[in-house]
Structure 1
Amino acid sequence: MRCLWLTLADPEPKKNGQLIYSGGLIQSMATGGTKLHVIGLDRHGEKDGLPRACANIRWQLHRRHHRPTWRRLASPLPNLASFGASSAGRQAVDQALAAEVWDAVVFDSIMSGWALGSVLRQRHRARKLVYLAHNCETIAARRIADDTRGVRWLARRLDAAKTAVLERRLLGAADFVTADSPDDCETLAPFTTAKKVSYVPAGYDGPRVSRRTITERLPRRAIIVGSFDWLAKRESLERFLEAATARLTAARVDLQVVGSAEPHYLDGLRRRYPSVDFVGPVADVLPYMAAARIALVPDLLGGFKLKGLDYVFNRLPILSMRGSLPGMPLEDRRSYGLFDTHVSLVEGILSHIDSLDTLNAYHQRAFDACAKTFDWSQIGRQLIADIFRS
């Protein structure tokens, strides 16, 4: 199978869930025998040159085109899709479609939706169109707008409307649609031609800790690991911090936040919440996870969370907002703890932080439940077969 794959960017370095998921799918499809022509942004400023050479993958990367605010507001594209849009990218898509007929053209998340018009104009050059949903983007955009006040509310409501239009267009145009969580499959299915969305989970190829026992020698620390470049992630983090910092400080429970974000954003958080350790991006997150008793998922939006797999396979017991870890075979109060509000999540931290037997049981059961799933090679083979059958 020959596939034209439209993605956000070169996935290396994989600093957030979007890049990990896209990179894993691209590599697993190539390993499964599919020949891929991948078009997306380069990572100028983060790395030099093309991704490392890999059989069955041809990379064609272009530089991001920065637009002034008024141009973004006037564009019919939502912010997520306009991020990667450029004349160079559209030209690359047009040339690839003109050069040959593809077995499939893949839109890898709504962030590649800038190319939909180009692909539809040469629809006869693609035997199948595939849309890989990374989220229910309309719901996420509306929630961000609802949490906004002042002048920004109007801009974000406009962006939510644009998001809804593009998401519906992608869902309606695609012959085959996938999502990375069962909940998103159910939500998106009514808007597809086939009234069906296939579940394609993320894989995990990171380290697996064979044995770990949490003892009193470990700091009374809870940790949040992730990327905080996306506005929805920031909203969830900040609302949790408002509910948590005073109570955790009073109880002498450390809170540590590890992961990438713009430096000025982290500096602002440090000023607002001086008792929290905002580490920022690190080369190796494993020592930080090994030094914590509890891992937190304070996200208010669904969608598969790749950090959940990092937590499980590094044997960190998880406390999470309900609905924030769909697609993981975990049981509430058996292999992790679920909570309905940030306030109740804080209460869960306080009640669990010294319950060492419970914490050790949580991470052992979670590891056992996930040990034989989330294999990238198997996921790639299944995706290839499903595209062929669609």
Structure 2
Amino acid sequence: MSILWLARYAPLPPANGGDAQYSRNLIQAVAKQTRVEVLCFSDVAIEPGTYGARWHHVPRQHHSRIAGLLSPLPDVAYRHAQSEFTRKALELAATVDTVFVDHIGLFWIVPILARTRASAKSPRIVVVNHDHEAALRKDMAAAASNPLTRLVLRFDAGKAAALERRANLLADGLTAISTTDQAEFTQLAPETANLLVMPGYDGPVVPERRIDEGTDLRICVLGGRGALHKKMVLRLILRELVRQGIPQRYIVDVVGSGEASGFEVSGINFLGYVESISDYLSTVRLGLIPDEVGGGFKLRLLTHVFHRVPMLGLRKAIDGSTLRPQVDYADAADITDLVTQIDHLIGHVDRLNELQNNAFSHCADRFKWDDRGTDLAKFSLTLTGRDPAAATVPQL
């Protein structure tokens, strides 16, 4: 069996956002099971064997963002829809059993690949969903404060929803990153075989930790600030923290890559990238997961869990991860509720330890990247008709 993996860019360090980590680790994991060819946009060649795969690349031409408004494709797909990528993808697709189309940014190529199905050698097509884009982009449009931005985002959201629907319906198989997303895609494309592919975790693990009265009254908001919806989330939580006077009572840190410009708030520390996330998190009493905008699976959940940092988060942000509200994390209905709970929870050390211990035990054996590679390889075999026994989708 062989696989072609289509990626928007080479998901290699220093690219370390959630999308890059997810794609990189899936490629590496499935490459341990079978031959994997990767095609991506890149200006430089990538060493063969990197993450176990053979890499191919084409340079990405820059399209006019203004012209993109007139395209039927959403902006993220319009910027990647290029003839040279199509040509190379079709050439490589003729040599493999399955093509994985990674992210909505490349879903424009699914109808093109589907036209080759008349050929006896045509590969099966699997779309790799990083999110339920229709819901994500609708939330982004609603959260935009500028009326013009809101209008543009709403227009783009409609195009994204249409592309997402078409690609998932045309594909032979689809993957979902969370249980909530899997339910949405099952409803959207009931005839398309689907597989739940949550992220794995391969970072540092803290085998034991005890929060006590001597632990700093430190609150952490962890995560990058590159994507528009992540900036929206940060603005919303900072506004509410200040409104309720939290920075005057506790240490509040914002940790992660991205510019602090435009976010500066008196009393809140913007630490940016920290050299040792393990050393830093050992000082944190409570981690916030305040994502009012955005779905999918937050990889930073696992960073908190395996560093034994108890979490207070919006239920809508954590639903679909298998983490249990009020058992593995303290849940909140909205941003106001989340911040209101801080005063009670942060001083309740027994409850904090109960949450972090429960979360660690629950996740210990559920998030292994190698398992994801095995699942993807079996799914590919199932779609090609070679392994009927693998037809049952693994349940986490």
The verdict on a shared fold, with TM-score over 0.5 as the criterion, is yes
Matched-pair identity in %: 30
Coordinate RMSD, CA, aligned = 2.1
Matched, 1:72 2:68: yes
Distance (whole Å) between structure 2 residues aligned to residue 370 and residue 107 of structure 1: 28
CA positional deviation for 1:21: 1.1
Residue aligning to 2:287: 295
Moved more, 57-66 or 251-260: 57-66
Structure 2 unpaired stretches of 5+: 384-396
Contact 2:110-2:125 within 8 A present in 1 as well:
no
The 1-side partners of 2:358 and 2:188 are apart by: 37
For 1:339 and 1:219, the matched residues in 2 are separated by: 23
The question of whether the paired residues in 2 share the 8 Å contact of 1:79 and 1:159 is answered with: yes
1:364/1:193 Cα in 2 relative to 1: closer, same or farther (>3 Å)? closer
Structure 2 Cα separation of the partners of residues 121 and 283 of structure 1: 49
Whole-angstrom distance in 1 between the partners of 2:194 and 2:51: 29
The residue aligned with 1:40 is 40
Matched to 2:25, the amino acid is G
Work out which of the residue numbers 177, 201, 224 in structure 2 matches 1:180: 177
Cα deviation code 1:1-59 (max 9, x no counterpart):
11111122222225211111111111110012x211111233x7xxx762673475111
Q: Which residue of 2 aligns with 1:103?
A: 97
Change (3 A) 1:85 1:287: farther
- Tell me, yes or no, if structure 1 residue 137 matches structure 2 residue 130: no
**Where do residues 356-371 of structure 1 align in structure 2 (5 Å cutoff)?**
356-371=349-364
Measured against aligned partners, the alpha-carbon deviations of 1:88-139 in whole angstroms (never above 9, x if no partner) come to 4233213323xx3421111112122243344234343533110111111011
Distance in structure 2 (CA, Å) of the matches to 1:224 and 1:64: 34
| Corresponding pairs, count | 378
Instruction: Call closer, same or farther: CA 1:158–1:205 in 2, change over 3 Å.
Output: same
* Structure 1 residue 85, shift from structure 2 partner: 3.6
Q: Check whether the contact 1:168–1:191 (CA below 8 A) recurs between aligned residues.
A: yes
Q: Give 4+ residue runs of structure 1 displaced > 6 Å after superposition.
A: none
Aligned-pair CA distance for 1:195: 5.5
The separation in 1 between residues aligned to 2:55 and 2:128, in whole angstroms, is: 19
Task: State the TM-score, normalized to the length of structure 2.
Answer: 0.89
Distance 1:366 1:55, change over 3 A: closer
Asked whether 1:62 is paired with 2:58, we answer yes
Q: Does 1:385 align with 2:378?
A: yes
Shift of 1:66: 2.7
Q: Indicate if the aligned counterparts of 1:317 and 1:362 stay in contact, CA closer than 8 A.
A: yes
Aligned-pair CA distance for 1:244? 1.1
Instruction: Return the TM-score normalized by structure 1.
Output: 0.90
Q: How does 1:180-259 map to 2 (within 5 A)?
A: 180-192=177-189, 194=191, 197-249=194-246, 251-259=248-256
Worse-matched range after superposition: 72-81 or 328-337: 328-337
2:241 maps to a residue whose letter is A
Contact 2:315 2:325 in 1 (8 A): no
Q: Distance in 2 between matches of 1:230 and 1:206?
A: 23
Question: What is the CA–CA distance in structure 1 between the aligned matches of 2:181 and 2:334, rounded to whole Å?
Answer: 21
Paired amino acid for 2:261 = D
